[in-house]
């Protein structure tokens, strides 16, 4: 792992580090977050979505006068072209900078969608 402040002048530094018979070309940086951190964040998102579903159930209970529960919950995305991890989260590794049209290639955004089915409890 390298500190962000070391991410500069990579082409020149690679040229200087090269020796006769061994050339370092096209140096790059992989700024993706570690899988363990993504898994932990995904679990946090899942718990948050469950809490939101429980709060929504309370409001539906009040609005309908009936008692409701979570009948089914599915995490993940169905969209085409989305990179989806084993935890069914969408990872984006490049976002547009709001101030310009430049890509921020060192950012990641994690998004999780849940489809919740409510079922009425027996009366």
- List, for residues 32-71, the tens digit of each pLDDT value: 778 888 889 889 999 999 999 999 999 999 999 999 999 9
Amino acid 123: pLDDT: 67
Together in a domain, 36 and 90: yes
Contacts of 57 (CB under 8 A, 6+ apart): 68, 69, 70, 118
User: What CA–CA distance (Å, rounded) separates 105 from 60?
Assistant: 42
Together in a domain, 2 and 60: no
Together in a domain, 14 and 50: no
Together in a domain, 97 and 43: yes
Average pLDDT, the chain: 79
Amino acid 112: pLDDT: 82
- Mean pLDDT for 64-93 is 70
- Mean pLDDT for 12-38 is 87
Together in a domain, 105 and 71: yes
76-82 contacts: CB < 8 A, separation 24 or more?
76/112, 76/113, 77/111, 77/113
Does residue 5 sit in helix, strand or coil?
A: helix
Together in a domain, 13 and 67: no
Together in a domain, 6 and 59: no
Give the domain extent around 16.
Answer: 1-30
pTM (2 d.p.)? 0.61
Together in a domain, 54 and 74: yes
Amino acid 105: pLDDT: 52
Domain count, the chain: 2
């Amino acid at each position: 792992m390298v500190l962000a402040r070391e991410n500069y002048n990579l082409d020149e530094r690679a040229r200087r580090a090269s020796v006769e018979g061994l050339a370092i070309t096209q140096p790059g940086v992989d700024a993706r977050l570690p899988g363990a951190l993504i898994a932990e964040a995904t679990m946090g998102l899942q718990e948050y979505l469950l809490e939101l579903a429980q709060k929504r159930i309370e409001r539906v209970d009040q609005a309908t006068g009936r008692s409701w529960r979570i009948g089914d919950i599915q995490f993940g995305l169905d969209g085409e072209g989305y990179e989806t991890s084993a935890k069914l989260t969408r990872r984006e590794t490049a976002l547009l900078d709001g101030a310009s049209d430049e890509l921020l290639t060192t950012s990641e955004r994690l998004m999780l969608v849940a489809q919740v089915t409510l079922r009425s409890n027996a009366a």
